Structure 1
């Protein structure tokens, strides 16, 4: 049973301190004095009977118990806000909608478990998912047609006016069908002898792939097909001798079931951040907060690292 001594102000202050990693900044955000917010935190720790935070030169740090409590405290606050929003909409036909852009690197493998987790947290929020190339989705985000985008960090000029929060890292793989001749005598320089599905100009992974090709002395590729279409890449690679250069997450399911195979080439040089992109001038609503929690839960479950 929840201890009745725990009040809304306790949860709100704790979550804000955890977000800001500073008593002063959290107090300013909540329009409180620093002694008042410090007292509120102390009350919460005494009620729970555990230390939730510690202070050091880096600022406020969560204890192990604090990390556990924060997860559910954030869900509680977001759910309460969602309930208040629902009361305001009661009587009308409007239903809260969260619009998410997903680049190919996350649409195939990462998004499905996130959607399942989010559906359990926010069953009354309608989720709209749009996939497509990096530039297209970022433009939709800037125009306000999307609430957030998940995918690879793009070039600096493309990311202007966009806030990026790294979630995990991912590398590029060279993928072929099962039984491809290159599997018997793997040599990255010989991929020029085969059709190659290559990321087009403007794709987030294009600079990384070009760096990989230069580092391995791969010359001009005469038979190159440039596309970010996952649907095309999966079918074409399975039915031809093409080599598909693509982020590992896009083909995670196909490589797991053996329909497609990763060529044994060292591609750590292509490792790059996958993150959550938003407009810096907007504050996340209750639905977005719950979506972020769903994302973090899946990252922890899958053991993804940055």
Structure 2
């Protein structure tokens, strides 16, 4: 078959770059400028590629070149192949230069000051020359970069509903979401505290579109608590904790944040449970891309750091409970 033979023997890296550029710019002139070639050279290369494959890849429209079903299919694979070639190039350069690779990650609020530092410390102890680039943002802001291959993984809260099966997930922590206030808040120590006691207080809410916002609104509605009129919106843990100290505001924090060593000195957890809001923190990566050795090492360090934190928490709880008396049961 003509298409099969051409793909196996004649398809070159320059063809892949041409396809990706055409998909990005949709015009011969812009593609020529981007690839630093002449416009006739772009037209000739595209014509040769379509002739070699025996199919038309782009439709000529008033808006420029638009990929059809054949073009979209080949472009998708072209992007993945170029990503792998770029990754191979980086790893070879690292070997030649005597370094140990690089990894780019996206990190969400909540892991920046809790989970990530321990994992990075562990990784640097094992591979000091590895370069780690960290981009902070929301899940919706980081996922496009993950798809494009600009990020190796995203670390942070996982969505309650998984809608994209090209993206792979690894759950590291599952903790309930908790309502917290400053330690001298009027609600701390209140007998028979109920949901309606929350009315009238200011809040710190996740922004609209954040993973926690809709589930939190549904939980408040389920308990007959109207959405507050007095609130700020932020995903910043540091801002939330600082704001709580100077106001009577109520905030919700994931359990792994609320129970970090520094946080209990600043806030109290209200004894109101939200079983529907289980915070899932983990790693998201693109299943179409192979993780580099450096990325796999960071993956393993994240898993190990979570395990160490769990053991440390268990020891702290045992110490707080005091020695077990002879004959007692646990």
Q: Distance in 2 between matches of 1:121 and 1:103?
A: 24
The 10-residue stretch of structure 1 (277-286 or 264-273) with the greater mean CA deviation from structure 2: 264-273
Q: Distance in 2 between matches of 1:184 and 1:221?
A: 22
Match of 1:208 in 2: 215
Q: Distance in 2 between matches of 1:121 and 1:208?
A: 40
Match of 1:182 among 181, 184, 187: 187
Match of 1:301 in 2: 308
Query: 1:235 Cα deviation (Å)?
Result: 1.4
Q: Distance in 2 between matches of 1:232 and 1:158?
A: 31
Match of 2:297 in 1: 290
Q: Does 2:128 match 1:128?
A: no
Higher alpha-carbon Rg: 2
Structure 1 residues 145, 158: closer, same or farther in 2, change over 3 A?
A: farther
Query: 1:160 Cα deviation (Å)?
Result: 6.1
Q: Does 2:116 match 1:111?
A: yes
Q: Distance in 1 between matches of 2:238 and 2:202?
A: 17
Structure 1 residues 138, 116: closer, same or farther in 2, change over 3 A?
A: same
Q: Are the aligned partners of 1:165 and 1:277 in contact in 2 as well (CA < 8 Å)?
A: yes
Q: Distance in 1 between matches of 2:133 and 2:146?
A: 13
Q: Distance in 2 between matches of 1:256 and 1:198?
A: 18
Q: Are the aligned partners of 1:98 and 1:287 in contact in 2 as well (CA < 8 Å)?
A: yes
What TM-score do you get using the length of structure 1 for normalisation?
Answer: 0.64
Query: 1:183 Cα deviation (Å)?
Result: 0.6
What TM-score do you get using the length of structure 2 for normalisation?
Answer: 0.60
Structure 1 residues 271, 255: closer, same or farther in 2, change over 3 A?
A: farther
Equivalent position SS for 1:183 = coil
Runs of 5+ unmatched residues, structure 2: 1-89, 312-330
Equivalent position SS for 1:269 = coil
Match of 1:19 in 2: none
Structure 1 residues 243, 140: closer, same or farther in 2, change over 3 A?
A: same
Match of 2:200 in 1: 193
TM-align CA RMSD: 2.7
Match of 1:225 in 2: 232
Q: Distance in 2 between matches of 1:188 and 1:223?
A: 17
Q: Distance in 1 between matches of 2:147 and 2:201?
A: 39
Structure 1 residues 88, 142: closer, same or farther in 2, change over 3 A?
A: closer
Runs of 5+ unmatched residues, structure 1: 1-84
Equivalent position SS for 1:120 = helix
